[in-house]
Amino acid sequence: MTEQKTSINRRSFLKSSALAGGGLMLSFTWLSAFKLPGEAGKPDVPNWIEVNGYIKITADNVIKILNPNPEFGQNVMTSLPMIVAEELDADWQKVVVEMGPHDSVKLGPQFTGGSNSVRMYWKPLREAGAAARTMLMQAAADTWKVPAEELTTNAGLIVHPKSMKSGTYGEFAAKAAVIPVPKEIKLKDPVKFKVVRSSQKNVEGLKIVSGKPLFGLDYKQEGMLIAMIVHPPAFGMKLKSFDASEALTMAGIKDVFLQKLYPDGFEQGGFDTRSFNDMLVIVGKSTWQVMQARKKLKAQWEPAGDIKDIIGGRGGKKEVIVPGELESTDAQHKKMQEFASKPAQQLRRDGDPETAFKNAAQIIERTYNAPFLAHNCLEPINFFAHVTAEKALVAGPLQAPGWSEPTLAKLLNLPADKIEIQMTRMGGGFGRRAYGHYLYEAAIISQKLNAPVKLMYTREDDMTYGIYRPMYTAIYRAALDANKNLVAFHVKGGGIPEHPIHANRFPAGAVDNYLAEGWQIPSNITIGAFRAPRSNFNAAAEQSFLDELAEAMGKDPIELRLELLQRAKEKPVGKNNEYDADRYAGILKLVKEKSGWNKAENKKYSRGIAAYFCHNSYAAHVVDLTMKNGQPYVERVFSAVDCGIVVNPDAATNMVQGAVVDGIGNAFYGKLTHKDGAAEQTNFHNYRIIRMNEAPKKVEVHFVQNNIDPTGLGEPPFPPVFGAVANALYRAYGKRLYEQPYGPQIPQQTMPDVKRKPVKSKLILNKRRAQ
């Protein structure tokens, strides 16, 4: 057993203990704000005794564990409370789970994103459970007048074996709540875990399959109005004038008005963002009435010109000029080609790459491109707000309440303690809901109307608003000597409006001469985090390039990676290499074994391999491609993942399977383009999302078994899917694909009956190069 100091805010513990000591705590009941058909006003179980911020227990032994972090499908409502239950030694089947309130003092950072939930809460939640268990045991020891060391616990029961006494946690909860938090907390040895590492069902499963109100769009309050915002039709445009006279005569319409989101000169937080500042707001009684009336709104738009933004946040205050140009995808491609040949910012340099390339026997150079992507969460952007002169209640789907609260307080001119943020279940997030602009929009509209308001984006509003995955490009170059050894590696990446390069990742550290460079082009098209930001492009480009490199070197693609990783382990080049070469090699070996990489029986598939490290975890996939109705079809996928200890294995498997399906879909079809500033895809009829008939028959997921603290899972399995798909398509068609999405690039030919021999890739010979 390890003994360690608690890392939990002790003040919050003591504060909650004192509260509990002053009487019985009433639980947090945000669900009661819903109008539940048939069960309106159903009271919550009263008389909760709050043991600490995460745990409440009733005298009759109902144990409630609060989930601190917003749920967007990564299953934290189940997995985070499981961690508490493990150390608390509670009977998981009897635990009641509830979404916690926004309370960063008691419940921590409360941020969903960056594959951080389990990683960041792992230790605090274990300590919360262990501390509560210790306090409950002390309460029993005091009552029975026996030494606490003689007590044991078992699934919510405290036992004193010597005297045969036993009692439930509930019996001692009130007493435990006033016991000081222990200074030293003993945590379990991971090999003794009972709840963690066992597969447990989603605690909200029944609510989901029976259609209970869980999501932001389901949130209701008496007298609530529906608001929509008519945004400009293109990036770079703004409202010139509008005529609402006809719309205002339509049934149910209450108001149409123009409102600024951020006042002039407002300092935005780093994640506030917005695509358009002028909100043309239409408000009415019901969703359909507002949808109909907005069609009758007559608005004239004009070019906005360059706009100056003031952005605060972690990097400090800075002024950003947003260019006014009405951008089109073709022109963006041309501009990117221009920038790609200009000098760029050096991000990392090892050895002497220029000389190595100059002296190389052979140079391979390839350029990869990828478009903007829309998140397309199936629940469109929405938020509820009820703002009065004294306080604000806002509720809805939000990944980072703690980031949004300061801006909301400033915009509403209310102190933070008068703002209540409730986090509903999110119908998808993928990074999109880390940006708080829509919460502010809802709150400002409610404040102006002095009424409860639900702001709702239609699918078209959602898809065309922005905050996309950026548009990326990268040139990869490799230098081989006469013996086909890799002597230099160069990556130069750029994007609109940011470059994708992670300079300190593999194969940095494995090549003597290495250069990474980045450049970026400003744009008015807004971007944001999209499941594994930047990695989701790099893994496609870099892992395709490594596949091509292996072929040029006459090596098996897995063996090439393993050799490079061996080099990085034994004699690492340079500093700050982010990855652990052993763990990286581990997933490659595991996926090689589980996929039967070299087995003859698998030769009937066009197989592609890719691996990647991001968000502190490692993932590799082998994609097995066949043909279905004349189209390439990913029939099977083998996945190997090292994310440390897996809290809930079946749910984790589900997440990896979903990431694989999401990756296949975006690799084949994901694309958002612009014409004169306007998004050309507006709904699912022209933005293609992967569907049931395109999903693999099997995605077999294997986790590396170790006792490393959890290191994140929502994002890591996603990026390498792109590379594995690209490499499998090459095996099927004998042609490398460099442009995403791959679907439209696939050679239009009938299904090849026999797998074609791959065409030898054309290598650029150094001496033939013009410059």
- Residues forming contacts to other proteins in the complex (CB under 8 A) are 35-37, 72-75, 201-202, 204-206, 208-215, 217-218, 220, 226, 251, 286-289, 291, 376-380, 425-430, 458-459, 650-651, 654-655, 657-662, 665, 683-685, 689-693, 695-699
Q: How far is CA 610 from CA 147, 447, 638, 702, 742, in A?
A: 57, 51, 11, 15, 16
Nearest-angstrom CA–CA distance, 42 and 281: 35
Looking at residue 739, what DSSP letter applies? B
Q: Report in angstroms how near the CB of residue 112 gets to other proteins at its nearest.
A: 12
Q: Report in angstroms how near the CB of residue 272 gets to other proteins at its nearest.
A: 24
Of 365 and 700, which CB lies nearer to other proteins in the complex structure?
700
Of 201 and 769, which CB lies nearer to other proteins in the complex structure?
201
Of 73 and 113, which CB lies nearer to other proteins in the complex structure?
73
3-state helix, strand, coil split of the chain in percent (to 5) is 30, 25, 40
Q: Report in angstroms how near the CB of residue 662 gets to other proteins at its nearest.
A: 5
β-pairing, 606-614 vs 617-628, is: antiparallel
Q: Report in angstroms how near the CB of residue 425 gets to other proteins at its nearest.
A: 7
**CB-CB neighbours of 499 under 10 Å:** 25
Q: Report in angstroms how near the CB of residue 744 gets to other proteins at its nearest.
A: 20
Judge whether 547 and 609 are in contact, CB under 8 Å: yes
Q: Which residues pair with 57 in a beta bridge?
A: 49, 63
Looking at residue 396, what DSSP letter applies? E
β-pairing, 678-679 vs 674-675, is: antiparallel
Q: Report in angstroms how near the CB of residue 663 gets to other proteins at its nearest.
A: 8
Of 204 and 481, which CB lies nearer to other proteins in the complex structure?
204
Of 357 and 687, which CB lies nearer to other proteins in the complex structure?
687
Of 187 and 689, which CB lies nearer to other proteins in the complex structure?
689
Q: Report in angstroms how near the CB of residue 668 gets to other proteins at its nearest.
A: 13
**CB-CB neighbours of 382 under 10 Å:** 25
Nearest-angstrom CA–CA distance, 225 and 175: 47
Of 20 and 652, which CB lies nearer to other proteins in the complex structure?
652
State in Å, rounded, how far the first CA of the chain is from the last one: 64
Of 425 and 437, which CB lies nearer to other proteins in the complex structure?
425
Of 153 and 422, which CB lies nearer to other proteins in the complex structure?
422
- The amino acid at residue 621 is H
Q: Which residues pair with 549 in a beta bridge?
A: none
Residue 694 structure tokens: 């395109």
Q: Report in angstroms how near the CB of residue 293 gets to other proteins at its nearest.
A: 12
Q: Report in angstroms how near the CB of residue 200 gets to other proteins at its nearest.
A: 9
Nearest-angstrom CA–CA distance, 235 and 242: 18
Q: Report in angstroms how near the CB of residue 454 gets to other proteins at its nearest.
A: 10
Q: Report in angstroms how near the CB of residue 288 gets to other proteins at its nearest.
A: 4
Q: Report in angstroms how near the CB of residue 685 gets to other proteins at its nearest.
A: 5
Residue 503 structure tokens: 């300079």
Helix axes 719-733, 535-553, angle to 10 degrees: 40
Judge whether 615 and 113 are in contact, CB under 8 Å: no
Residue 687 structure tokens: 């933005």
Assign 226 to helix, strand or coil. Answer: strand
Q: Report in angstroms how near the CB of residue 385 gets to other proteins at its nearest.
A: 18
Judge whether 68 and 80 are in contact, CB under 8 Å: yes
Q: Report in angstroms how near the CB of residue 452 gets to other proteins at its nearest.
A: 14
Name every residue whose Cβ is closer than 8 Å to that of residue 642 and which is 6 or more positions away in sequence: 583, 586, 587, 617, 618, 619, 703, 704, 706, 708, 711
Of 96 and 291, which CB lies nearer to other proteins in the complex structure?
291
Of 75 and 332, which CB lies nearer to other proteins in the complex structure?
75
Residue 615 structure tokens: 């968000």
Name every residue whose Cβ is closer than 8 Å to that of residue 643 and which is 6 or more positions away in sequence: 616, 617, 618, 652, 703, 710, 711, 712, 713, 716
Of 105 and 251, which CB lies nearer to other proteins in the complex structure?
251
Of 225 and 546, which CB lies nearer to other proteins in the complex structure?
225
If we measure between CA atoms, which residue out of 388, 390, 395, 384 comes closest to residue 447?
Answer: 388
Annotate 340-374 with three-state secondary structure. HCCCCEEEEEECCHHHHHHCCCEEEEEEEEECEEC
Looking at residue 764, what DSSP letter applies? B
Of 4 and 683, which CB lies nearer to other proteins in the complex structure?
683
Nearest-angstrom CA–CA distance, 98 and 88: 17
Q: Report in angstroms how near the CB of residue 398 gets to other proteins at its nearest.
A: 14
Of 685 and 760, which CB lies nearer to other proteins in the complex structure?
685
Nearest-angstrom CA–CA distance, 427 and 425: 7
Q: Report in angstroms how near the CB of residue 431 gets to other proteins at its nearest.
A: 13
Of 464 and 524, which CB lies nearer to other proteins in the complex structure?
464
The number of helix segments (H) and strand segments (E) in the chain equals: 18, 32
Nearest-angstrom CA–CA distance, 394 and 31: 13
Judge whether 552 and 300 are in contact, CB under 8 Å: no
Looking at residue 428, what DSSP letter applies? -
